[in-house]
Amino acid sequence: MTWSWRLETADGRTVGMSEESFSTQADAESWLGENWRGLRADEIDKVTLLNEEDTVYAMSLHDPE
């Protein structure tokens, strides 16, 4: 299994993928925890966790209102 993050804008447009792929979901989530501020600085609004080609979940990188 390979885990990765799809990087998206607020309107859902895909702008890239995480530079790394991960062997576990926990590793992917740890990477996001360490890098989400940099992603926001690069104007990434939303990420989607993928397991191979399957969507696991999506989440916003913005603070809840």
Residue 25: inside a domain, yes or no? yes
Q: What is the pLDDT of residue 50?
A: 98
- The number of distinct structural domains making up the chain is 1
Residue 35: inside a domain, yes or no? yes
Residue 65: inside a domain, yes or no? no
Residue 50: inside a domain, yes or no? yes
Residue 15: inside a domain, yes or no? yes
Task: Report the Cα 18 to chain-centroid distance in Å.
Answer: 7
pLDDT in tens, 17-48: 999 999 999 999 999 999 999 999 999 999 99
Q: What is the pLDDT of residue 63?
A: 79
Residue 50 burial class via C-beta count within 10 angstroms: exposed 0-12, middle 13-18, buried 19 and up: buried
Residue 58 and residue 45 in contact, taking contact as beta carbons nearer than 8 Å: no
Single pTM value for the model: 0.91
Q: What is the pLDDT of residue 1?
A: 83
- Residue 12, SS3 per DSSP: coil
Q: What is the pLDDT of residue 64?
A: 74
